[in-house]
Structure 1
Amino acid sequence: DDNDFVQDQESRLPLIGLYSAFKELKNLDYEKAFVLPCDTPLIKLELIDFLINQSKTFDCCIPEWRKSYLEPLFAIYSVNKAYETSLKNLRQKRYKLTKIIDQNWKTNYISIDQGIKKIDPNLLSFKNINKLEDIKILESILEKNQ
């Protein structure tokens, strides 16, 4: 039952959102889920296509920065495996998003420097828009691209 671990937790935990999504997708018999952040409006369609193609035979496909920093909110997951792992992590109060990825999974770590930059050289797909000044930067970028 969901109330076993959600009662005492802040409902704003990103892991609870991911768990809820994986649970619903599992109930609908989806095999994979492409998780994207809501604050990155410049995601390139070519990058989405690339990651989908890179994920076909993997349990997880996730962008990786140079120092092994992962992008868990910009990744493709096996719904069943991510559901089970996120449920286990919530019960164990392990809220770090990268802990969704089990070391027994077949994971495709996509180098941002060597793979993704070929598709998105300025890495605009990863540009977060969180503050007013970010919106001004976004407007400037969009004006240049028109």
Structure 2
Amino acid sequence: MADVTYYTKEGIDKLKEELHHLKTEGRANIAKAIAEARDKGDLSENAEYDAAKEAQGLHETKIAKLEGTLASARLIDESKMDNSKVLALSKVMIKNVKNGATMTYQLVSETEADLKSGKISVKSPIAKGLLGKSVGDKAQIEVPAGKMEFEILEISR
């Protein structure tokens, strides 16, 4: 069985929307490409037909994978979460102790992670170092550039 992954409502909705698109428009486009290739004659020597069939197989694999992801997805009820500690879906304001720079991240599942919008994976080194900590705690985190120390300034949802 796949690992359970926790998502925001927005993240689950995005997965469902992508799956719907793949099952409707995506399948229709591939069926159209197969039909066009089939109309070009002898299938035994038709590279276009072979490519379209291969694309269909890859497309169905992607649909199956997405269905598996949704089957193991769980929505977190943020109203029941403890704001005194850093948990999955927490928004955390941290300060780099060395240079004083502050940043805010939300800890999300790997598939929702998007650094540009301030969402980092709970499996990233920074998130792992912050999980379970409280406001005022300092965390020494091993990142590719070496050890960094962060102080937790604020935790919210």
- TM above 0.5: no
TM-score bracket, normalised by the shorter chain, equals under 0.3
TM-score with structure 2 setting the length: 0.22
Task: Indicate the structure with greater strand content.
Answer: 2
Q: Which has the larger radius of gyration?
A: 2
TM-score with structure 1 setting the length: 0.23
